[in-house]
Chain A
Amino acid sequence: MTRIVFVVFSLATGAATYAGVYGIGGEDKQIANSIRSGSGGRVGYIGGVK
Protein backbone atom coordinates (compact mmCIF):
# COMPACT_ATOMS: atom_id res chain seq x y z
CA MET A 1 0.00 0.00 0.00
CA THR A 2 2.81 2.40 0.94
CA ARG A 3 4.49 1.78 -2.42
CA ILE A 4 1.30 2.57 -4.33
CA VAL A 5 0.75 5.81 -2.40
CA PHE A 6 4.39 6.82 -2.94
CA VAL A 7 3.97 6.27 -6.69
CA VAL A 8 0.75 8.32 -6.75
CA PHE A 9 2.34 11.15 -4.77
CA SER A 10 5.42 11.06 -7.03
CA LEU A 11 3.19 11.40 -10.09
CA ALA A 12 1.31 14.28 -8.46
CA THR A 13 4.59 16.05 -7.65
CA GLY A 14 5.79 15.49 -11.22
CA ALA A 15 2.54 16.84 -12.64
CA ALA A 16 2.67 19.92 -10.40
CA THR A 17 6.30 20.52 -11.40
CA TYR A 18 5.43 20.20 -15.09
CA ALA A 19 2.44 22.52 -14.73
CA GLY A 20 4.62 25.01 -12.87
CA VAL A 21 7.45 24.96 -15.42
CA TYR A 22 5.12 25.32 -18.41
CA GLY A 23 2.83 27.78 -16.66
CA ILE A 24 -0.29 25.76 -17.32
CA GLY A 25 -3.32 27.77 -16.30
CA GLY A 26 -1.16 30.80 -15.56
CA GLU A 27 -2.20 32.94 -18.52
CA ASP A 28 -4.38 35.99 -18.02
CA LYS A 29 -7.79 35.10 -19.34
CA GLN A 30 -8.22 38.36 -21.26
CA ILE A 31 -4.98 37.91 -23.20
CA ALA A 32 -5.49 34.20 -23.73
CA ASN A 33 -8.99 34.82 -25.12
CA SER A 34 -7.72 37.63 -27.26
CA ILE A 35 -4.96 35.44 -28.70
CA ARG A 36 -7.42 32.60 -29.26
CA SER A 37 -10.00 34.76 -31.02
CA GLY A 38 -7.44 36.52 -33.18
CA SER A 39 -6.77 40.20 -33.53
CA GLY A 40 -8.56 42.59 -31.23
CA GLY A 41 -10.69 40.14 -29.33
CA ARG A 42 -10.91 42.24 -26.21
CA VAL A 43 -12.95 40.46 -23.61
CA GLY A 44 -12.86 42.47 -20.44
CA TYR A 45 -10.83 44.42 -17.99
CA ILE A 46 -8.09 43.14 -15.73
CA GLY A 47 -8.08 44.44 -12.24
CA GLY A 48 -11.54 45.97 -12.26
CA VAL A 49 -10.29 49.50 -11.60
CA LYS A 50 -12.05 51.12 -14.49
Chain B
Amino acid sequence: MTDGLAPSASRLAAINCTSCGSPLPALAGHRAKALICTYCGAVMDRHDEYRLLARYRDMQRPGGPFRIGMTGEIMGVGQTIVGIVGVTASIEHVDYDWTNYQLYSPTHGYSWMTWSDGHLTHSRKTRDMPESGGQFAYKAPLAAGGRSFRMFEQYIARITYLEGELTWVPTLGDRTQVIEAIDPPHGYSVVMGESETEFEFGTYLDRRETLAAFDVEDSFPRLWTVHAIQPFLPGSLHTAVSKAGRVFAPVALVLGLGFLCVGAGSKITETVVVDTDRGGSLVFPLDRPDRLAEVRLTANVVNSWSWYDMELVHEESDETVAEFDGGLEYYEGYDSDGRWTEGSQTATFRFKPPVAGDYRLTITTGDPKSARLPVRVEVRENVMLARYLFGLAIFFALCWLSLWFRSARFEAKRWGDDEEEDDD
Protein backbone atom coordinates (compact mmCIF):
# COMPACT_ATOMS: atom_id res chain seq x y z
CA MET B 1 0.00 0.00 0.00
CA THR B 2 1.64 3.17 -1.20
CA ASP B 3 0.36 6.50 -2.38
CA GLY B 4 1.21 5.39 -5.87
CA LEU B 5 -1.12 2.41 -5.86
CA ALA B 6 -3.41 2.36 -8.88
CA PRO B 7 -7.13 2.67 -8.06
CA SER B 8 -7.99 -0.59 -9.76
CA ALA B 9 -5.41 -2.39 -7.64
CA SER B 10 -6.43 -0.54 -4.50
CA ARG B 11 -9.97 -1.83 -4.84
CA LEU B 12 -8.68 -5.32 -4.34
CA ALA B 13 -6.77 -4.62 -1.13
CA ALA B 14 -8.35 -5.41 2.23
CA ILE B 15 -7.34 -6.04 5.80
CA ASN B 16 -9.14 -7.52 8.77
CA CYS B 17 -10.04 -5.32 11.72
CA THR B 18 -7.59 -6.10 14.51
CA SER B 19 -10.42 -5.69 17.00
CA CYS B 20 -13.43 -7.52 15.55
CA GLY B 21 -11.87 -9.31 12.58
CA SER B 22 -14.24 -7.83 10.01
CA PRO B 23 -12.79 -7.38 6.53
CA LEU B 24 -12.14 -3.73 5.72
CA PRO B 25 -11.12 -2.24 2.38
CA ALA B 26 -7.67 -0.73 2.22
CA LEU B 27 -7.99 1.87 -0.48
CA ALA B 28 -5.88 4.80 0.66
CA GLY B 29 -2.21 5.45 0.19
CA HIS B 30 0.56 5.26 2.76
CA ARG B 31 -0.05 8.74 4.17
CA ALA B 32 -3.39 7.71 5.62
CA LYS B 33 -2.68 7.27 9.32
CA ALA B 34 -5.83 5.79 10.78
CA LEU B 35 -8.31 3.10 9.85
CA ILE B 36 -11.67 3.11 11.63
CA CYS B 37 -13.64 -0.11 11.48
CA THR B 38 -17.05 0.23 9.87
CA TYR B 39 -18.48 -2.46 12.13
CA CYS B 40 -17.01 -2.00 15.61
CA GLY B 41 -15.71 1.57 15.53
CA ALA B 42 -12.14 0.52 16.36
CA VAL B 43 -9.57 3.18 15.51
CA MET B 44 -6.35 1.53 14.28
CA ASP B 45 -2.93 2.99 13.58
CA ARG B 46 -2.07 2.16 9.95
CA HIS B 47 1.59 3.00 10.57
CA ASP B 48 1.91 0.69 13.56
CA GLU B 49 0.60 -2.72 12.45
CA TYR B 50 -3.02 -1.54 12.82
CA ARG B 51 -2.62 -1.22 16.55
CA LEU B 52 -5.89 -0.48 18.33
CA LEU B 53 -5.95 3.14 19.52
CA ALA B 54 -9.58 3.60 20.54
CA ARG B 55 -13.03 2.25 19.90
CA TYR B 56 -16.23 4.19 19.38
CA ARG B 57 -19.27 1.98 19.44
CA ASP B 58 -22.76 2.79 18.20
CA MET B 59 -21.80 5.73 16.06
CA GLN B 60 -24.70 6.80 13.87
CA ARG B 61 -23.60 7.08 10.26
CA PRO B 62 -24.60 10.49 8.92
CA GLY B 63 -26.75 10.82 5.82
CA GLY B 64 -25.15 11.10 2.43
CA PRO B 65 -25.09 9.54 -1.01
CA PHE B 66 -21.70 7.82 -0.92
CA ARG B 67 -20.10 4.71 0.53
CA ILE B 68 -16.50 3.83 1.08
CA GLY B 69 -14.96 2.32 -2.03
CA MET B 70 -16.99 4.33 -4.53
CA THR B 71 -14.99 5.85 -7.32
CA GLY B 72 -15.69 8.74 -9.62
CA GLU B 73 -14.24 11.76 -11.28
CA ILE B 74 -14.24 15.18 -9.67
CA MET B 75 -13.02 18.11 -11.72
CA GLY B 76 -11.30 15.71 -14.09
CA VAL B 77 -9.47 13.76 -11.40
CA GLY B 78 -10.31 10.15 -10.54
CA GLN B 79 -11.10 9.86 -6.83
CA THR B 80 -11.88 7.03 -4.44
CA ILE B 81 -13.88 7.50 -1.26
CA VAL B 82 -11.73 6.05 1.52
CA GLY B 83 -13.19 7.58 4.68
CA ILE B 84 -16.25 9.24 6.15
CA VAL B 85 -16.37 11.86 8.90
CA GLY B 86 -19.61 13.23 10.32
CA VAL B 87 -19.43 16.79 11.58
CA THR B 88 -21.79 19.02 13.50
CA ALA B 89 -21.60 22.70 14.36
CA SER B 90 -23.79 25.19 16.10
CA ILE B 91 -23.93 28.45 14.21
CA GLU B 92 -25.96 31.24 15.76
CA HIS B 93 -27.83 28.73 17.93
CA VAL B 94 -28.78 26.53 14.97
CA ASP B 95 -27.25 23.06 14.66
CA TYR B 96 -25.88 22.08 11.26
CA ASP B 97 -24.67 18.62 10.28
CA TRP B 98 -22.70 17.59 7.27
CA THR B 99 -20.74 14.63 6.01
CA ASN B 100 -17.15 14.81 4.88
CA TYR B 101 -15.88 12.11 2.54
CA GLN B 102 -12.14 11.55 2.53
CA LEU B 103 -11.04 11.23 -1.09
CA TYR B 104 -7.91 9.64 -2.37
CA SER B 105 -6.33 10.01 -5.76
CA PRO B 106 -3.00 8.28 -6.51
CA THR B 107 -2.00 11.28 -8.61
CA HIS B 108 -3.46 14.15 -6.60
CA GLY B 109 -3.38 12.79 -3.04
CA TYR B 110 -6.04 13.44 -0.42
CA SER B 111 -8.93 15.83 -0.44
CA TRP B 112 -12.49 16.10 0.84
CA MET B 113 -15.92 16.01 -0.64
CA THR B 114 -18.67 17.39 1.60
CA TRP B 115 -22.38 16.63 1.52
CA SER B 116 -24.32 19.37 3.27
CA ASP B 117 -28.07 19.89 2.92
CA GLY B 118 -27.94 18.23 -0.50
CA HIS B 119 -25.07 20.43 -1.69
CA LEU B 120 -21.73 18.97 -2.70
CA THR B 121 -18.41 20.74 -2.34
CA HIS B 122 -14.82 19.70 -2.82
CA SER B 123 -11.97 20.97 -0.65
CA ARG B 124 -8.28 20.39 -0.40
CA LYS B 125 -5.52 21.65 1.81
CA THR B 126 -3.61 24.62 0.52
CA ARG B 127 -0.38 26.25 1.55
CA ASP B 128 -1.75 29.67 0.71
CA MET B 129 -2.04 31.50 3.98
CA PRO B 130 -4.33 34.50 4.34
CA GLU B 131 -2.62 37.62 3.07
CA SER B 132 -4.95 39.76 5.13
CA GLY B 133 -7.83 39.41 7.53
CA GLY B 134 -6.37 37.45 10.43
CA GLN B 135 -9.47 37.75 12.58
CA PHE B 136 -13.02 36.99 11.68
CA ALA B 137 -15.21 39.94 10.78
CA TYR B 138 -18.49 39.34 8.98
CA LYS B 139 -18.24 40.13 5.26
CA ALA B 140 -14.72 41.52 5.73
CA PRO B 141 -12.29 40.87 2.88
CA LEU B 142 -9.81 38.05 3.10
CA ALA B 143 -7.12 37.65 0.46
CA ALA B 144 -5.51 34.27 -0.11
CA GLY B 145 -4.05 32.41 -3.04
CA GLY B 146 -4.48 35.37 -5.35
CA ARG B 147 -8.21 35.51 -4.71
CA SER B 148 -10.33 37.99 -2.81
CA PHE B 149 -12.72 36.25 -0.44
CA ARG B 150 -15.26 37.68 1.98
CA MET B 151 -15.51 36.24 5.43
CA PHE B 152 -18.76 34.34 5.76
CA GLU B 153 -18.95 32.68 9.15
CA GLN B 154 -16.98 31.13 11.97
CA TYR B 155 -17.93 28.15 14.04
CA ILE B 156 -16.63 25.27 16.08
CA ALA B 157 -16.96 21.96 14.30
CA ARG B 158 -17.24 18.73 16.25
CA ILE B 159 -16.66 15.21 14.92
CA THR B 160 -19.67 12.93 15.40
CA TYR B 161 -18.80 9.95 13.20
CA LEU B 162 -15.68 8.21 11.91
CA GLU B 163 -15.23 5.45 9.35
CA GLY B 164 -12.57 4.19 6.98
CA GLU B 165 -9.11 5.49 6.26
CA LEU B 166 -8.16 9.00 7.30
CA THR B 167 -5.04 11.09 7.00
CA TRP B 168 -4.86 11.78 10.73
CA VAL B 169 -5.72 9.94 13.88
CA PRO B 170 -9.05 11.42 14.91
CA THR B 171 -10.88 11.40 18.20
CA LEU B 172 -14.65 11.34 18.34
CA GLY B 173 -15.78 14.71 19.64
CA ASP B 174 -12.66 16.49 18.36
CA ARG B 175 -13.32 20.21 18.00
CA THR B 176 -11.81 22.65 15.57
CA GLN B 177 -12.46 26.32 15.11
CA VAL B 178 -13.21 27.22 11.51
CA ILE B 179 -13.33 30.55 9.71
CA GLU B 180 -14.96 30.36 6.31
CA ALA B 181 -14.54 32.93 3.58
CA ILE B 182 -16.22 32.81 0.20
CA ASP B 183 -15.76 33.83 -3.40
CA PRO B 184 -18.39 31.67 -5.15
CA PRO B 185 -17.94 29.11 -6.51
CA HIS B 186 -14.86 28.93 -4.32
CA GLY B 187 -14.28 29.06 -0.61
CA TYR B 188 -11.34 29.36 1.73
CA SER B 189 -11.28 27.97 5.25
CA VAL B 190 -8.95 28.51 8.14
CA VAL B 191 -9.18 25.38 10.31
CA MET B 192 -7.68 25.85 13.75
CA GLY B 193 -7.12 22.69 15.76
CA GLU B 194 -5.49 22.29 19.15
CA SER B 195 -2.00 21.91 17.76
CA GLU B 196 -2.09 23.21 14.20
CA THR B 197 -3.85 25.50 11.80
CA GLU B 198 -4.66 24.36 8.29
CA PHE B 199 -5.95 26.19 5.26
CA GLU B 200 -8.38 24.71 2.79
CA PHE B 201 -9.51 25.75 -0.65
CA GLY B 202 -13.01 24.70 -1.62
CA THR B 203 -15.05 24.51 -4.82
CA TYR B 204 -18.78 24.09 -5.27
CA LEU B 205 -19.70 20.97 -7.24
CA ASP B 206 -22.59 20.40 -9.61
CA ARG B 207 -24.62 17.81 -7.71
CA ARG B 208 -26.19 16.04 -10.66
CA GLU B 209 -22.89 15.80 -12.47
CA THR B 210 -20.95 14.60 -9.43
CA LEU B 211 -23.51 12.01 -8.37
CA ALA B 212 -23.58 10.70 -11.93
CA ALA B 213 -19.78 10.48 -11.91
CA PHE B 214 -20.04 8.21 -8.86
CA ASP B 215 -22.90 6.21 -10.38
CA VAL B 216 -25.36 7.47 -7.79
CA GLU B 217 -28.93 8.22 -8.82
CA ASP B 218 -29.99 11.72 -7.81
CA SER B 219 -33.17 10.85 -5.92
CA PHE B 220 -32.42 13.35 -3.18
CA PRO B 221 -34.71 16.28 -2.38
CA ARG B 222 -34.41 19.34 -4.56
CA LEU B 223 -32.04 21.98 -3.22
CA TRP B 224 -33.96 24.55 -1.19
CA THR B 225 -31.10 26.30 0.55
CA VAL B 226 -28.27 28.37 -0.87
CA HIS B 227 -24.84 27.07 0.02
CA ALA B 228 -22.18 29.51 1.10
CA ILE B 229 -20.14 28.99 -2.08
CA GLN B 230 -22.95 28.09 -4.45
CA PRO B 231 -22.68 30.22 -7.59
CA PHE B 232 -25.74 31.99 -8.95
CA LEU B 233 -26.47 30.18 -12.21
CA PRO B 234 -29.61 31.39 -13.96
CA GLY B 235 -31.04 29.31 -16.79
CA SER B 236 -30.17 30.06 -20.39
CA LEU B 237 -33.70 31.38 -21.10
CA HIS B 238 -33.64 33.86 -18.24
CA THR B 239 -30.13 34.97 -19.18
CA ALA B 240 -31.22 35.49 -22.79
CA VAL B 241 -34.38 37.36 -21.77
CA SER B 242 -32.40 39.62 -19.45
CA LYS B 243 -29.75 40.27 -22.09
CA ALA B 244 -32.38 41.09 -24.72
CA GLY B 245 -34.29 43.24 -22.20
CA ARG B 246 -31.15 45.28 -21.57
CA VAL B 247 -30.86 45.99 -25.30
CA PHE B 248 -34.52 46.51 -26.14
CA ALA B 249 -35.66 48.54 -23.08
CA PRO B 250 -33.71 51.65 -24.18
CA VAL B 251 -34.75 51.11 -27.80
CA ALA B 252 -38.44 50.99 -26.86
CA LEU B 253 -38.00 53.95 -24.51
CA VAL B 254 -36.31 56.09 -27.18
CA LEU B 255 -38.96 55.14 -29.74
CA GLY B 256 -41.68 55.94 -27.21
CA LEU B 257 -40.14 59.34 -26.46
CA GLY B 258 -39.87 59.94 -30.20
CA PHE B 259 -43.56 59.15 -30.58
CA LEU B 260 -44.29 61.49 -27.71
CA CYS B 261 -42.46 64.30 -29.53
CA VAL B 262 -43.91 63.80 -32.99
CA GLY B 263 -46.98 61.75 -32.10
CA ALA B 264 -49.18 64.77 -31.49
CA GLY B 265 -49.62 64.80 -35.26
CA SER B 266 -50.03 67.83 -37.47
CA LYS B 267 -52.58 70.52 -36.92
CA ILE B 268 -55.01 70.81 -39.84
CA THR B 269 -57.20 73.59 -38.58
CA GLU B 270 -58.38 75.39 -35.51
CA THR B 271 -61.06 77.87 -34.58
CA VAL B 272 -62.62 79.45 -31.54
CA VAL B 273 -66.33 79.06 -31.03
CA VAL B 274 -67.33 82.08 -28.97
CA ASP B 275 -71.03 81.39 -28.58
CA THR B 276 -71.50 77.67 -28.17
CA ASP B 277 -75.28 78.11 -27.70
CA ARG B 278 -75.43 79.24 -31.29
CA GLY B 279 -72.80 76.66 -32.20
CA GLY B 280 -69.94 76.71 -34.60
CA SER B 281 -68.40 74.50 -37.23
CA LEU B 282 -65.16 73.95 -39.09
CA VAL B 283 -64.33 72.02 -42.23
CA PHE B 284 -61.11 70.11 -42.67
CA PRO B 285 -59.65 67.41 -44.90
CA LEU B 286 -58.75 63.96 -43.54
CA ASP B 287 -56.70 62.02 -46.07
CA ARG B 288 -55.61 59.01 -44.03
CA PRO B 289 -58.48 56.79 -42.87
CA ASP B 290 -55.91 54.39 -41.43
CA ARG B 291 -54.43 56.99 -39.08
CA LEU B 292 -55.78 58.62 -35.95
CA ALA B 293 -57.33 62.08 -36.10
CA GLU B 294 -57.96 64.15 -33.02
CA VAL B 295 -60.39 66.87 -31.98
CA ARG B 296 -59.01 68.91 -29.12
CA LEU B 297 -61.22 71.25 -27.10
CA THR B 298 -59.76 73.90 -24.81
CA ALA B 299 -61.76 76.30 -22.64
CA ASN B 300 -60.90 78.42 -19.65
CA VAL B 301 -63.21 76.61 -17.24
CA VAL B 302 -62.34 77.25 -13.61
CA ASN B 303 -64.26 75.59 -10.82
CA SER B 304 -66.95 74.70 -13.32
CA TRP B 305 -67.68 72.42 -16.22
CA SER B 306 -68.86 72.70 -19.77
CA TRP B 307 -70.46 70.12 -22.00
CA TYR B 308 -70.65 69.98 -25.78
CA ASP B 309 -72.53 68.05 -28.42
CA MET B 310 -70.52 67.38 -31.55
CA GLU B 311 -71.40 66.07 -34.98
CA LEU B 312 -69.01 64.90 -37.65
CA VAL B 313 -70.35 65.12 -41.20
CA HIS B 314 -68.76 63.83 -44.40
CA GLU B 315 -68.92 66.84 -46.69
CA GLU B 316 -69.18 65.06 -50.05
CA SER B 317 -72.06 62.82 -49.07
CA ASP B 318 -73.44 65.21 -46.45
CA GLU B 319 -73.94 62.23 -44.18
CA THR B 320 -73.45 62.32 -40.46
CA VAL B 321 -70.57 60.02 -39.71
CA ALA B 322 -70.67 60.29 -35.93
CA GLU B 323 -72.34 62.09 -33.12
CA PHE B 324 -70.59 62.36 -29.82
CA ASP B 325 -70.42 64.54 -26.78
CA GLY B 326 -67.96 65.41 -24.11
CA GLY B 327 -66.88 68.10 -21.79
CA LEU B 328 -64.30 69.83 -19.71
CA GLU B 329 -64.13 70.23 -15.98
CA TYR B 330 -61.54 71.95 -13.92
CA TYR B 331 -61.43 72.75 -10.23
CA GLU B 332 -58.77 74.32 -8.08
CA GLY B 333 -58.34 75.55 -4.54
CA TYR B 334 -56.21 75.53 -1.43
CA ASP B 335 -56.24 73.23 1.56
CA SER B 336 -53.84 72.32 4.38
CA ASP B 337 -51.50 70.67 1.84
CA GLY B 338 -51.42 73.75 -0.35
CA ARG B 339 -52.84 74.34 -3.81
CA TRP B 340 -54.80 71.58 -5.52
CA THR B 341 -56.31 71.16 -8.93
CA GLU B 342 -58.59 68.56 -10.43
CA GLY B 343 -59.64 67.89 -14.00
CA SER B 344 -58.37 69.61 -17.11
CA GLN B 345 -59.17 72.56 -19.32
CA THR B 346 -58.47 70.41 -22.38
CA ALA B 347 -60.24 67.34 -23.72
CA THR B 348 -59.31 65.22 -26.73
CA PHE B 349 -61.43 62.95 -28.88
CA ARG B 350 -59.68 60.55 -31.22
CA PHE B 351 -61.17 58.74 -34.18
CA LYS B 352 -60.37 57.22 -37.53
CA PRO B 353 -62.35 58.71 -40.45
CA PRO B 354 -64.23 55.99 -42.33
CA VAL B 355 -63.10 57.39 -45.71
CA ALA B 356 -60.74 60.05 -46.94
CA GLY B 357 -62.28 63.41 -47.72
CA ASP B 358 -63.47 66.67 -46.23
CA TYR B 359 -65.33 66.60 -42.93
CA ARG B 360 -67.34 69.20 -41.05
CA LEU B 361 -67.40 69.26 -37.28
CA THR B 362 -70.17 71.17 -35.56
CA ILE B 363 -70.15 71.92 -31.88
CA THR B 364 -72.87 73.27 -29.61
CA THR B 365 -73.57 73.53 -25.91
CA GLY B 366 -74.63 70.10 -24.77
CA ASP B 367 -76.21 70.84 -21.41
CA PRO B 368 -78.26 73.81 -20.20
CA LYS B 369 -76.26 73.92 -16.98
CA SER B 370 -72.96 73.98 -18.83
CA ALA B 371 -70.64 76.95 -18.40
CA ARG B 372 -70.77 79.30 -21.41
CA LEU B 373 -67.22 80.03 -22.41
CA PRO B 374 -65.43 80.44 -25.72
CA VAL B 375 -63.98 77.08 -26.71
CA ARG B 376 -61.01 76.58 -28.94
CA VAL B 377 -61.43 73.64 -31.32
CA GLU B 378 -58.35 72.15 -32.90
CA VAL B 379 -58.20 69.24 -35.36
CA ARG B 380 -55.03 67.21 -35.82
CA GLU B 381 -54.22 64.23 -37.99
CA ASN B 382 -51.58 61.50 -38.04
CA VAL B 383 -51.70 61.24 -34.26
CA MET B 384 -49.48 58.45 -32.93
CA LEU B 385 -49.63 56.54 -29.66
CA ALA B 386 -46.56 56.16 -27.45
CA ARG B 387 -48.31 54.00 -24.86
CA TYR B 388 -47.45 50.64 -26.46
CA LEU B 389 -43.76 51.46 -26.68
CA PHE B 390 -43.66 52.77 -23.11
CA GLY B 391 -45.45 49.63 -21.94
CA LEU B 392 -42.97 47.53 -23.83
CA ALA B 393 -40.06 49.55 -22.42
CA ILE B 394 -41.31 48.79 -18.90
CA PHE B 395 -41.72 45.11 -19.77
CA PHE B 396 -38.22 44.93 -21.28
CA ALA B 397 -36.75 46.75 -18.29
CA LEU B 398 -38.42 44.25 -15.96
CA CYS B 399 -36.98 41.41 -18.05
CA TRP B 400 -33.55 42.98 -17.70
CA LEU B 401 -33.83 43.70 -14.00
CA SER B 402 -35.46 40.40 -13.10
CA LEU B 403 -32.08 38.71 -13.31
CA TRP B 404 -30.63 41.29 -10.98
CA PHE B 405 -33.55 40.82 -8.57
CA ARG B 406 -33.10 37.05 -8.65
CA SER B 407 -29.39 37.41 -8.06
CA ALA B 408 -30.02 39.83 -5.17
CA ARG B 409 -32.51 37.42 -3.61
CA PHE B 410 -30.04 34.57 -4.07
CA GLU B 411 -27.30 36.58 -2.34
CA ALA B 412 -29.68 37.60 0.46
CA LYS B 413 -30.47 33.92 0.99
CA ARG B 414 -26.78 33.06 0.94
CA TRP B 415 -25.92 35.65 3.55
CA GLY B 416 -29.05 35.06 5.60
CA ASP B 417 -30.20 38.63 5.03
CA ASP B 418 -33.67 37.40 4.06
CA GLU B 419 -34.01 35.76 7.48
CA GLU B 420 -33.03 39.00 9.18
CA GLU B 421 -35.73 40.80 7.20
CA ASP B 422 -38.25 38.14 8.23
CA ASP B 423 -37.20 38.55 11.86
CA ASP B 424 -37.83 42.28 11.63
User: Which A residues have a C-beta under 8 Å from some C-beta of B?
Assistant: 1-2, 4-6, 8-10, 12-13, 15-17, 19-28, 30-32, 34-35, 39-42, 45-47, 49-50
Verify A32–B351 contact, CB threshold 8 A. yes
- Give the distance to chain A from B70, nearest Cβ to Cβ, in Å: 36
Verify A13–B320 contact, CB threshold 8 A. no
Which chain B residue lies CB-closest to A46? B326
Known pairs A5-B241, A50-B325; list 7 more (Cβ under 8 Å).
A9-B396, A13-B251, A13-B255, A26-B385, A31-B351, A35-B321, A35-B322
Q: How far is the CA of A31 from the CA of B396 in the complex (A)?
A: 33
Verify A16–B291 contact, CB threshold 8 A. no
Verify B323–A41 contact, CB threshold 8 A. yes
- Residues in B neighbouring A13, C-beta threshold 8 A: 248, 251-252, 255, 389, 392
Q: How far is the CA of A17 from the CA of B243 in the complex (A)?
A: 21
- Residues in A neighbouring B36, C-beta threshold 8 A: none
- Give the distance to chain B from A14, nearest Cβ to Cβ, in Å: 10
Q: How far is the CA of A4 from the CA of B387 in the complex (A)?
A: 25
Q: State which residues 381-401 of B face A: CB under 8 Å.
A: 383-389, 391-392, 396
What DSSP secondary structure best describes chain B's contact surface?
A: mixed
Which chain B residue lies CB-closest to A37? B322
Which chain B residue lies CB-closest to A30? B324
Q: How far is the CA of A32 from the CA of B352 in the complex (A)?
A: 8
19 contacts across the A-B interface (CB closer than 8 A): A1-B236, A5-B241, A16-B391, A17-B388, A17-B389, A20-B263, A20-B385, A23-B385, A24-B385, A26-B383, A27-B351, A27-B352, A42-B323, A42-B325, A45-B327, A46-B327, A47-B328, A50-B366, A50-B367
Verify B252–A16 contact, CB threshold 8 A. yes
Verify B244–A46 contact, CB threshold 8 A. no
Verify B244–A5 contact, CB threshold 8 A. yes
Verify A46–B329 contact, CB threshold 8 A. no
Asked if B316 is at the interface of the complex by the 8 Å CB criterion, the answer is: no
Q: A12-B392, A23-B291, A50-B307 are in contact. Are A35 and B325 (CB under 8 A)?
A: no
Verify B248–A9 contact, CB threshold 8 A. yes
Verify A49–B322 contact, CB threshold 8 A. no
Interface string of B301-329 (1 = CB under 8 A from A): 00001010000100000011111111111
Verify A9–B245 contact, CB threshold 8 A. yes
- Residues in A neighbouring B367, C-beta threshold 8 A: 50
Q: How far is the CA of A49 from the CA of B347 in the complex (A)?
A: 12
Q: How far is the CA of A13 from the CA of B251 in the complex (A)?
A: 8
Verify A31–B324 contact, CB threshold 8 A. yes
Q: A13-B252, A31-B324, A47-B329 are in contact. Are A20 and B259 (CB under 8 A)?
A: yes
Verify A34–B327 contact, CB threshold 8 A. no
